Amino acid sequence: MGRRRMFVALLALSLGLLVRPVAVGSAVACSCAMDADPIVTAAQDPDQAIFTGVVQEPAAQGTPVILTRWFRGAAPQAVVWLDNAGFEDPFGGMCGTARPPANSEWIFAAYRAEAGKFGVDLCSPHASLATPEGQRMLQSATEVLGPPAVPAAQPDPGEAADPVVSGVVAILVGLVALTGLAAGIFLVAGRRRET
């Protein structure tokens, strides 16, 4: 009788361990409320930033997006960063989403995440502007929030300066320094002759 109870207990434990991930997984799976016009809903939330931009290759600190339009106030800078955490576990039951391909323009309704980044996940409204859905979202954002600010182009701090311009500037600085040195020597020599 003792072996039979032990076998039943082990069987129940095994079944419990097999069923638990399915039950827990379904309880914590991502669930997004579907909205007829998600941009209108996002526009009503002051914590949501709505913008368009060209997605760049991801880096360790996040995914850079070169802004093309910024709704609700002045654009913060020419490049904003998306938090890479939103692109983890895409479609795996949590709220991660697929990362937009580099060099494509998208519209995002994103929340402010840590360290000045913006969070995007499966429930955040976003779409490629090359799609009808993206164009509808852009039109809706413009109707609700008014015309967007267009950020001023800023040079990429990682770009190297033009070597020809740098060389010309260096030569001019050197000539000015030599001219000043020569003038100083003549002044000192002229004063010594007078004394």
Tell me which residue of 57, 65, 66 sits closest to 101, measured CA to CA.
Answer: 57
Supply φ then ψ for residue 69, to 5 degrees. Answer: -150, 145
**What are the φ and ψ backbone dihedral angles of 115, each rounded to 5 degrees?**
55, 40
DSSP the chain: -HHHHHHHHHHHHHHHHHHHHHHHHHHHS------SSHHHHHHT-TTEEEEEEEE---BTTBEEEEEEEE-SSS---SEEEE-GGGGSSBTSSSSB-PPPPTT-EEEEEEEE-GGG-EE--TTS-EEETTSHHHHHHHHHHHHHH-SPB-PPP---TTSPPPHHHHHHHHHHHHHHHHHHHHHHHHHHHHHHHH-
Query: CA angle 76-77-81, nearest 5°?
Result: 95
**In the structure encoding, which two tokens stand for residue 150, read together?**
């267009």
Structural domains for the chain: 38-145 (2.40.50.120)
Residue listed under structure tokens 């434990």: 13
Reading the chain (195 residues) residue by residue, the pLDDT tens digits are 566 655 555 545 454 444 433 333 434 456 666 667 888 888 888 888 999 999 999 999 999 999 999 998 777 889 999 988 888 765 555 677 888 999 999 999 988 877 778 988 878 889 999 999 999 999 999 999 999 988 766 545 444 445 555 555 566 566 666 666 666 566 666 666 666
Say if CB 58 and CB 82 are below 8 A apart.
no
